[in-house]
Amino acid sequence: MTAALRIEGITVDYGSLRALDGVNLDLVQNTTLGLVGESGSGKSTLARVIAGLVRPDAGRLELGGRPLTRRRSRPQRKSVQMVFQNPDASLNPRLTVRQMLSEALLFHRIVPRNLVLARCRELMSRVRMEPDALGRFPHELSGGQRQRIALARAISVEPSLLIADEPTSALDVSVQLDILELFRSLKSEFRLTVLFISHDLGVIHAVSDVVAVMKQGMLVEVSPRDRFFAGPQTEYGRQLLASVPRMPEIPPRGTGHGMKGNR
Amino acid sequence: MIGRSPRPPLRPSGGRPKTPPLWIGCSMLVLLAVPAILAPWITPYAPGQQNLSATLLPPSRGHWLGTDQLGRDLLTRILYAARTDLSVMVLAQIIPVCTGVFLGMVAGYFGRGIDAAVTLFTDTVIAFPFYLTVIIVAFLSGSGQRGIYVTFALVGWVVYARVVRGLSATFRQQDWIAAARTLGYPDLRILLRHLLPNVLPQAIVVLMTDMAALLVAIVTLGYLGIGIMPPTPDWGTMIADGRPFLSTKWWLSALPGLAVVYTGIALSLIGDGLADRIRRT
Amino acid sequence: MSGPASIDVEGLELSARSGRKLVTDVGFRTYPGETLGLVGESGSGKSLTLRAILGLLPPGVIQTGGRVERRGRCAMVFQDPVRALPPLSPVAALLTEVVRCNRQSTREAARREAMELLASLGLPDSLRREDRYPHELSGGQCQRVVIALALARRPDVLLCDEPTTALDVTVQKQILGVLERLQRELGFGMILVTHNLAVAASLCPRLAVLKEGRVVEHGTTATLLRNPSHPYLRMLIRSVLPLPRLEGGRHP
């Protein structure tokens, strides 16, 4: 399988702070790479470099064998799309959903003008929303709905690589499951390659095929998902996995208290 | 499934969407603007129509607000002056608003070098006192409306540039701008189609109070004799004309002055109402 | 359960000024030394309930019904540690001041006690020599300071409003560990508000689940998790994404 995205030696400095330090990573086509790290790990910066929003100070990117610089052609721009963390800030407050989607469809000439509305409706159903939402403004929608719209916007231009930067972190848990499920189904439907960023290992486990761990600007570990969760190879990976709060084991009734109480 | 709308912020007023200040302000403005626009058709007198046997009359049935020292009907003159002053107030803002908003957006969006240059320019211009500038311009190009337009085009844009720059810099950090860039939209499109609609509401709020200030400036210049010149009716010159009679026929100066205050209040209320509206969405 | 309840809330009703009810008929009791978890999503009213206990309701929210009884001192730990600290106060000096006010002691004695508190919370000794501002500390360190400030009051009940939500997961584990340890050592009761069911379940033997301002489930954690009856609780349990156990049994 050809690597869909190749990242070589990417370095980003913000003044004296090194946000990314020589990161090398390959994403295989049609897989989901779960990128996990804590604050300051550089995972968001890496996402923005790949999306073309931040210029790296060193290193190179290759998408489908072709170099990817910050100055990208329209087809290149189309092929890498991103969904952001904060649903309150990810949609233009002054545009309706329909205006937002139509603009993307028309700008990249995905469909001719007379088919735009139909395609908008189709996109809404793909992200499991009612077509009436097309006429709404972002502030009339809930956080989960806004993230669905952001997803619709991202897939409307038919990208090959989708970057998701903590898309569920700001959402309630009840909504999180649905959004993750949506990601999974869209990925297989559109044959996407996904870079999924999260600080939450539970989320990473739910969506990833491969897990990559970052710490302070450096890539620390890359493993297939099951191997990682069975036993991380680095100390930091183990530390991360151990820190996840877990539900206590409740023994069946009659075997006494299996929990730590505090009295 | 369309869910319920997100929990609304706790509003102190209890959440009714109507904004009294906005409606009151608009009504006040309409109450003045409509008669002013229709003045040529509804006033029984011409503004310059003198009647030297009917000078300095108090309000009466023939003259609702009385007459001035040349027998001209005061109400007519106030309405005609409204036409002049209000239209200058609006027209003089066109160029400053456009340039100010544009420069502000460009500075806030691109940042760094462009921002530094624009800020330097802004800070320099802001150092020039308005009235001094207008006097110099009046001296060079003659008094009257032209002087006001030129001066305001030169210095009036600064406040818009400042406000819009701050807003643009904030929006620049937000993800929806990042999304637009990811979608490959060129910067110009982002500026005009995405940033501008978000920046404009605040700019309009500023416009309201700025226009009130500009009105005061226009009237002051007229009062000083270096603004709008007679025979064009202007509240400023009317106030000046009424000065010799301040102790006896005080309404000759007071009523035009009241008109200025009235307009200022209307504009402020509209500005407040709009600001509230923006904060709500 | 020994003696009278430290916190007794009954029929609590909180409303916005527009009349909209934010919290309806919420009641629970905690006894000395007990830990109670208040679990719910955004809009469930869990934070407001906590603030009502302290009497710290935000502007625009009033208590329109029910009663809150506190027996003993309470102190609160907030969600965003950096914003909970005054930005212009060096932390050791701040802590000393708080200790002095609560203890009516001399400056020297207060300072000694403040330093002991900081040490017991795992803050570095270097603070003794060189005081620091909140923005110079990490999120985890700030939260430790916030906890120290709360403990300076020698509270009988510690109210924690999402104390680890703004922190990294490794830091979260440390802070929760610190809270557990201090509770064992000092014996205060705790009410922990969180949206993370796993955190609440692993720390609190008793839980109350809130949804849209009402208590939908209330009881011991073991019972609730063994037999969740309310569909909302079942949904919350399902939403905790499973993680496989590490090879070789329990995690370190």
**Does residue B12 sit at the A interface (CB-CB below 8 Å)?**
no
Cis peptide, bond prior to residue B231, ω within 30 of zero: yes
Nearest CA in chain B to C15: B10
Determine the Cα–Cα distance for residues C209 and C40; give it in Å rounded to an integer: 6
Q: Verify whether the Cβ–Cβ distance A252 to C199 is below 8 Å.
A: no
Nearest CA in chain C to B13: C18
The residue written with tokens 């544009």 in the block is B102
Q: Is the pLDDT of residue B17 over 60?
A: no
Task: Say if C62 is an interface residue toward chain B (CB within 8 Å).
Answer: no
Instruction: Name the residue among C199, C205, C239 with its Cβ closest to that of A176.
Output: C239
Of the candidates B69, B8, B73, B3, the residue with the CA atom closest to the CA atom of residue B43: B73
Cβ contact, residue pair C42, B11, below 8 Å = no
Q: Does residue B70 lie in a domain region?
A: yes
Residue B8 lies in a domain: no
Kindly tell me if the per-residue pLDDT of B1 is higher than 50: no
Q: What does the pLDDT look like over C51-77, one tens digit per residue?
A: 999 888 988 899 988 999 888 889 999
Report the length, in residues, of chain A: 263
For residue C189, the cross-strand partners are C157
Q: How close B137 comes to chain A (CA, Å)?
A: 41
Q: Does B188 touch chain A (CB under 8 A)?
A: no
Dihedral through CA C169, CA C171, CA C175, CA C181, nearest 10? 100
Chains that touch A (3 or more CB pairs under 8 A): B, C
Q: Three-class SS of residue C14?
A: strand
Interchain contact, C16 vs B10, CB within 8 Å: yes
Chain A residues lying within 8 Å of C170, measured CB to CB: 38, 239-240, 243
Q: DSSP code of C3?
A: S
DSSP state of C38: E
Nearest to B15 among C18, C59, C61 (CB): C18
CATH number of the structural domain spanning residue B101: 1.10.3720.10
Where are chain A's structural domains?
A: 3-90+158-170+179-243
Reference C209, options C41, C44, C40, C9; nearest CA is C40
Which structural domain range is residue B183 located in?
20-36+66-280
**Which residue type is seen at C207?**
L
CB pairs under 8 A between B and C: 17
Distance CA C84, CA C78 (A): 7
Identify all chain B residues contacting A150, using CB atoms and an 8 Å cutoff.
179
pLDDT at residue C121 above 90?
Answer: no
The CA radius of gyration of chain B, in Å to the nearest whole number, is 23
Residues of C in contact with A252 (CB under 8 A): 226
Mutate to test the interface with A, among C143, C235, C239, C247 (most CBs of A within 10 A): C239
B184 in a structural domain: yes
- Name the domain count of chain B: 1
Q: Which residues of C touch A231 (CB under 8 A)?
A: 246-248
pLDDT in tens, B238-256: 999 888 888 888 888 899 9
**CB-facing half-sphere around the CA of A61: CA atoms within 13 A:** 24
Of C42, C43, C60, the CB nearest to B10: C60
How distant is the Cα of B153 from the closest Cα of chain A, in angstroms? 29
Residue B67 neighbours by CB under 8 Å, 6+ apart: B51, B54, B55, B56, B57, B73, B74
CA dihedral sign, ordered C48, C51, C55, C60: negative
Report residue B141 as tokens. 């190009």
CB contact under 8 A, A81 and B184: no
Q: Do C17 and B14 touch (CB under 8 A)?
A: yes
> CB-CB: which of A74, A140, A141 is closest to B184?
A74
Class of domain A3-90+158-170+179-243: alpha beta
Per-residue pLDDT in tens (0 to 9) along chain A, 263 residues:
466 899 999 999 988 889 999 999 999 999 999 999 988 899 999 999 999 999 999 999 998 888 888 788 888 889 999 999 988 889 999 999 999 999 999 999 999 999 999 999 999 999 999 999 999 999 999 888 999 999 999 999 999 999 999 999 888 888 888 899 999 999 999 899 999 999 889 999 999 999 999 999 999 999 999 999 999 999 999 999 999 888 887 776 655 454 444 43
